[in-house]
Chains A and B, each alone.
Chain A
Amino acid sequence: MTIKEIQEEIIDEFSMFDDWMQRYEYMIELGKSLPLIAEQYKTDDNLIKGCQSKVWVHAELDGDKLVFTADSDAIITKGIIAILVRTFSNQKPQDIIDADVEFIDEIGLKEHLSPTRANGLVSMIKQLKLYAVAYQTQLK
């Protein structure tokens, strides 16, 4: 599936819910399906700055695709990073670089997109894209 298709699938899933509580509960559920980062990568170097809770992300190439694993000590943050990892993992670095994240707005999590928000969704997106840029250079 392309990034766009995955995003549409997520939008579709969230459209079933009519209030914030159900959306958050689903996000927490999604957090449980997050491909967890191996303990050895849970280092300060892999911590994303700008989050009130801890978020670790690791990336590695599988052929020409980038695979992300992550974890967080806060469950809502874990749900957010799970949504991002589901969108961007197993994609080509260039596609990750080119992707937009407007779907966040459509699934009712727009409030998390503010750059001043302490959970650092913006920092998380930036970090995933930075990995993509780094590996894109390596692929070349």
Chain B
Amino acid sequence: MADVTAALLTTADGRPLKAALAEAQSRARRRAFLLVAPLLAFVVLTFIIPIGQMLDRSFHHDGFSANAPNLVEWFDANPEGTVPDEAAFAALAADMKLMKENKTAGEAGTRVNYTLAETRSLITKTARGADKLAPPFKEALLAIDDRWDDPAVWQAMRSSASAYTADFYLSALDMERAEDGSIQRVEEQGRIYVYLFFKTFLLSGIITLVCLLLAFPVAHLLATLPMAKANLLMILVLLPFWTSLLVRTTSWIVLLQGEGVVNDILLSLGFIGDDGRLKMIYNQTGTIIVMTHVLLPFMILPLYSVMRVIPPSYARAARSLGATSWTTFRRIYLPQTLPGIGAGSLLVFILAVGYFITPALVGGADGQLISNLIDFHMRNSNWSMAAALSAMLLAGVLVLYWLYDRLIGIDNLKLG
């Protein structure tokens, strides 16, 4: 018997069974692939490639390395910490001439400027007068600007001399390269990114929590009401989806501003004095309130879809077994809604972390999130910096996703 089962199984006409099976299924598989091919192409073109480009930009910038070949050569030949000699200044002068010829001084300067501020003007200024440079080059260059003697400038050029760099990530972590090439934190008043990342994740966490607390009872109501009433209520839940985001946000401004409806009501009821009007907008509070409202449906829908399929007999069984309503909720109902809580929280949190328009409109000075800073860098054409921040945001979300998978399990996720 063992021999028979060990032998390769064949079809009636003697072909190996595996090959026959693959052949029989290949047609269906080809057809299935053709059906998903358009979407696959769309996703590759509009998602995978742009993301790849963004990641590439965050650590690849050849603005300086491509336009300063002589300096690149010198940096390669001499280790870090070498005091620039006459050969170095000669290379610099040669590159300046090259930049003037090719009109690439601005591009190169921009790259160095990302690493050390105010070096762009130094490079463009020097390049303008590059034609008149003659040996000895050190003196000639120092005559144009004595900053050429500054080791920090040379360090910045050295790190720009490679097309691949971690400088943008260092900046995004509030770090910089010291003159000797070691990594250090930037001065205290210059540290903005880490704090902003922290604040973004904290506010997103608060928004997620508030959404969960507000959505849970609503989703439960939706799941237990008769179908006709539940549908009506569902329309109310979905209504914000059909209203322009701008309209909703500006409505909140009308409601929450200093002279707004809420303050007026509180004032007329005597809860606050005229000089004690609450500041509920153009700050963190405003960001939290408005984003909670905007993201609430994303919490309600997954919760509802999970709660709808929990049969009421579970709660009844628990009650008949002697559990109080609180115990029934805590030990029977809540655990069964976990897939919905997980899905809703993950959805809201990820959306909140990358949210841009609402904090931009109602965030004021202290309600801005990391996405607003990414936007700032993009508008200032610092694509690499924006890309590095975005990549870090992406990494942060992926880490959370991984944590979620470890703690709760991704197969427990139920989005709809």
Do chains A and B interact in one complex?
Answer: no
Interface residues of A (CB under 8 A from B): none
